[in-house]
């Protein structure tokens, strides 16, 4: 009887022993990996390895190493981003110091000259440079705020046409000084988009200012409906599920010099168009705010025109 059970007992003991050895192997490998991860310097290139060929351990080690690689790359990207930001801030600080230095010089001239006409000229020039510095600081503050990952914006129906009209009216002196007459073409004047009213105003304001400052002719602002189901331009009014595209197009003097893919990069204009003024932050602010509201914004060159398109979902305005 016992002799008949002996093979079964030996088999059970072998299975149990094999199981215990496997558990010991897995436990040892896992503990070794854990010790490496705990003691590993974040700046180290040390990798997780496995000395056994047990099923799953190689895959686990590979997955851990992939995650370590992603973490290291994120660290490198963050450092590069910080270095670029510091370099760009250094360039911006030069732009801030220049008008302040000029303003100080004009104020000194005004203090030294008793002529009323010269005094008015110098004070006006000083005020102009102070205004330029204020604009730079305002754009830097706006960029910092728009780049905040925790930025919270209101969501409400915002009518686009009156918002755009008010911004254009506010820049009437700029258009008149250049002899420009901007055009406005809205397929559906009553269309509303969902977003933060102040943020949308800031986006359109920055796009219009960019067209005035860097354009070679009057901008044209066009609104078109984009059907969500067909992703095509429509000539009809707004319908449920549709999006609206706001296109701001203006002629530019040298379209070949514009890299449309980089147009929304921080300080892009600071590197390419210092003479035209501005901080190079306006379009970056516009892009950040658009993305924060789930909108899309892009730019392209069409012939001699720069075309910037803001696309947003349409909503029905709440009525009391």
For the stretch 51-84, pLDDT in tens is 666 667 777 777 877 887 787 777 777 767 766 7
DSSP run (H or E) holding 170: helix 160-170
- CATH of region 156-315, choose from 3.30.565.10, 3.40.47.10, 3.40.1390.30, 3.20.20.100: 3.30.565.10
Q: How far apart are CA 202 and CA 143, in angstroms?
A: 11
- Domain layout of the chain by residue ranges: 2-75, 156-315
3-state secondary structure at position 309: strand
Choice between 286 and 270, residue whose per-residue pLDDT is larger: 286
What pTM, to 2 d.p., does this model score?
0.57
Q: How confident is the model at residue 7 (pLDDT cuts 50, 70, 90)?
A: low
**Exposure of 30 in the CB half-sphere (CA atoms within 13 A):** 9
> How many helices (H) and strands (E) are present in the chain, helices listed first?
8, 8
In this prediction, residue 27 has a pLDDT band, given cuts at 50, 70 and 90, of confident
Nearest to 158 by CA among 1, 315, 28: 315
Residue 294 has pLDDT above 70, yes or no: yes
User: Could you give the CA distance from residue 197 to residue 170 in angstroms, rounded to a whole number?
Assistant: 17
- CA 236, 239, 243, 246 dihedral sign is positive
Mean pLDDT of all residues in the chain? 76
What 3-state DSSP class applies to 278?
coil
Contacts 24+ apart (CB under 8 A), 5-11: none
Q: Tell me the pLDDT band of 318, cut-offs 50, 70 and 90.
A: very low
Question: Coil, helix or strand for 152?
Answer: coil
**Nearest to residue 202, comparing CAs of 250, 242, 153, 157?**
153
Nearest-angstrom CA–CA distance, 199 and 207: 12
């Amino acid at each position: 009887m016992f002799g008949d059970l002996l093979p079964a007992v030996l088999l059970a003991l072998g299975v149990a022993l094999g199981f215990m050895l496997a558990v010991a192997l897995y436990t040892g490998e896992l503990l070794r990996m854990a010790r490496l991860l705990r003691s590993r310097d974040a700046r180290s290139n040390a990798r997780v390895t496995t000395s056994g060929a047990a099923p799953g351990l190689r895959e686990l080690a590979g997955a851990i190493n992939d995650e370590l690689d992603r973490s290291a790359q994120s660290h490198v990207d963050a450092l590069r981003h910080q270095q670029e930001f510091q370099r760009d801030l250094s360039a911006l600080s030069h732009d801030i110091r220049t008008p302040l230095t000029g303003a100080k010089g004009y104020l000194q001239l005004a203090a030294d000259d008793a002529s009323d006409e010269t005094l008015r000229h110098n004070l006006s020039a000083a005020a102009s440079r102070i205004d330029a510095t204020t604009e730079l600081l305002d754009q830097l503050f706006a960029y910092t705020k728009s780049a905040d990952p925790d930025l919270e914006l209101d969501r409400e129906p915002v009518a686009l046409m009156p918002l755009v009209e008010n911004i254009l009216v506010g820049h009437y002196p700029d258009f008149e000084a250049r002899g420009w007459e901007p055009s406005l073409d809205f397929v559906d004047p009553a269309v509303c988009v969902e977003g933060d009213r102040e943020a949308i105003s800031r986006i359109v304001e920055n796009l219009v200012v960019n067209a005035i400052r860097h354009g070679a002719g009057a901008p044209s602002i066009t609104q078109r409906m984009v059907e969500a189901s067909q992703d095509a331009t429509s000539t009809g009014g707004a319908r449920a599920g549709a999006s609206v595209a706001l296109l701001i197009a203006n002629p530019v003097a040298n379209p070949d010099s514009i890299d449309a893919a980089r147009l929304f990069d921080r300080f892009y204009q600071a590197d390419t168009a210092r003479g035209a003024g501005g901080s190079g932050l306006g379009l970056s602010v516009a892009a950040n705010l658009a993305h924060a509201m789930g909108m899309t914004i892009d730019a392209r060159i069409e012939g001699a025109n720069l075309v910037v398109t803001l696309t947003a979902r349409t909503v029905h305005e709440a009525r009391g």
